[in-house]
Amino acid sequence: MSLPADPVDLLAVLPDFAGGGAERVTLALANGLLRRNFRVRLVVFRAAGPLVPLCDPAIGIRVLERPRLRTALMPLVAEIRRCQPRVVFSSLGYVNLALLALRPMMPSEIRLWVREANLPSLNIPRSPMPRLTGAGYRLLYPRADRVICTSQRMREEMEHDFAVPQAVIDNLFNPVDTNMVREHAVRPRRREGFGRRFVASGRMTVQKGFDRLLEMFADLTEDSNHLTILGAGPELDHLQELAERLGVAARVDLPGYVAEPWGWYAGADAFLLPSRWEGMPNAALEALACGTPVIATPEAGGIAEVAALSEPGAVKVLEAGPGFVAAMRATSQADRPVLRQSLLPREFELDVVLDQVSGWLKDRP
């Protein structure tokens, strides 16, 4: 089957508009490519989630009204056949595997790009069926036309652990719209009073490590210190109970999901990233764009590469435990909440990332 003369350049696939990093990256790329006059479409299993307002209304959206992957697969393939894009783009591992498995049902001219959102060596062992998932990666990821990695460490895992050919692997940093972030952070938010103010953000799951963050914060015994953790998820009640047991509930706020967290990032003395595994942590990148230094665990995906590209002291990478606590204790307290100069390395700026993806799309297969 030949492609039409004026096909869609990129069809992005998302289950929904959940507030995760993969969804944010997909929408940032789709919106940015649209502004660069590429023909972009989006197909979602269901049109629900807090990121709906971030999608440019000019992007054509096809809603399958099938919330589960197994019921969405055949309608998804039908939509791909109907749309006949030059590139299908996906950024969630289980959707990537499904698309790669269904590749024979798609027109051969279509190129399939899969972006990996989490570091496989840390993410796959924690999946519901780790042996089956690992086998799927080894069997299917080498079939992709482009495997997009967020860090060099991830690229090496794809090559060595899953036999993905070097020729189809590309690195792409997560894009951050610094101008947008800073516009929303122009009035930093900060809990009143004397003392250090720390902020963390993410979905309330075991992955994000907020339980061990609360334990470390409890070791920071000064009553003037305060921690705000933004986000919602299944671990929220447990974290509230843990804060009570540790005796830090009065010094910890858990306000739930915040659609525009950047004012909180800008008002903090440090952004804390205690993740057990990650790909490339968007929230930490956005905190740097607000001028807020980051303290992170080494398991947080590509954070070590962010540190290497950042100015000295902007990102500290330390094992969870006494070293992490010492870094919190050494954090300087701001005199007043002001928006500081961005600390984000240029490589993560939205336009820089869009230049790279635009080049891939212009290099027609």
The pLDDT assigned to 25 comes to 95
Q: What is the pLDDT of residue 4?
A: 42
Distance CA 165, CA 110 (A): 19
In this model, does residue 364 exceed pLDDT 90?
A: no
Q: What strand order describes the sheet that includes 40-44?
A: 60-63, 40-44, 10-14, 87-90, 111-115, 146-149, 169-171
Q: How confident is the model over 39-59, as a mean pLDDT?
A: 93
Pairing of strands 146-149, 111-115: parallel
342: which DSSP letter? P
What average pLDDT does range 240-260 have in this prediction?
Answer: 95
Q: Please give the class, per CATH, of domain 178-346.
A: alpha beta
Q: How confident is the model at residue 363 (pLDDT cuts 50, 70, 90)?
A: confident
Q: How high is the pLDDT of residue 148?
A: 98
Taking a C-beta distance cutoff of 8 angstroms, is the pair 150, 173 a contact?
yes
Instruction: Quote the pLDDT of residue 226.
Output: 97
% the chain with pLDDT above 90: 87
**Share of residues in the chain with pLDDT > 70 (%):** 98
Closest CA to 155 of 143, 135, 141: 141
Q: Which CATH architecture best describes the domain 10-175+349-362?
A: 3-Layer(aba) Sandwich (3.40)
Could you give the CA distance from residue 83 to residue 249 in angstroms, rounded to a whole number?
52
Q: What is the pTM of this model?
A: 0.90
Question: In the predicted model, is pLDDT for residue 59 greater than 50?
Answer: yes
pLDDT in tens, 246-255: 999 999 999 9
pLDDT of 90: 97
End-to-end CA distance of the chain: 15
Is residue 2 predicted with pLDDT exceeding 60? Answer: no
**Residue carrying the six token digits 């995906």:** 301
Cite the residue boundaries of each domain of the chain with CATH code 3.40.50.2000: 10-175+349-362, 178-346
